[in-house]
Amino acid sequence: DQIKKVVIEAGWMNKKSNLHNRIGQSKRAGERIAKNVGENHATGKLLVEMAESLGLAVVLVRPTKTKKNSEEFNRITGWQGRTNQEQRDAGMLIFGMKV
């Protein structure tokens, strides 16, 4: 009853989201990254399906490439506590959204 909206970073909405072929990267490393990305996409889609089946509003957000360091994150959001990169990514995903 407390959850009003679920926001999910939907990497599968990017045109090229599963391409990993960098200079100096082994084929094995690229395949491992592609596998992990595919698993993350599948998990995200299952979360969407579950939230919708519970009647929750779901907002899909395309991921961005920009990462924020802690000083930048604190300045933008006004947050004063410590954060790790995953917390900052999640915070930026919903920052500025109405409840």
In a domain, 96, yes or no: no
In a domain, 90, yes or no: no
In angstroms, the CA 28 to CA 73 distance is 35
In a domain, 82, yes or no: no
Q: What is the pLDDT of residues 22-64, one digit of tens each?
A: 778 788 888 888 888 889 899 999 999 999 999 999 999 988 7
In a domain, 85, yes or no: no
* Cβ count within 10 A of residue 50: 12
- Number of domains the chain is built from: 1
**pTM for the structure as a whole:** 0.75
Kindly state the percentage of the chain with pLDDT values over 90.
55
In angstroms, the CA 10 to CA 14 distance is 8
Helix (H, G, I), strand (E, B) or coil at 8: strand
C-alpha distances in angstroms, 68 versus 75, 79, 81, 90, 92?
10, 13, 15, 11, 8
pLDDT reported for residue 99 = 63
Domain of residue 27, residue span: 11-56
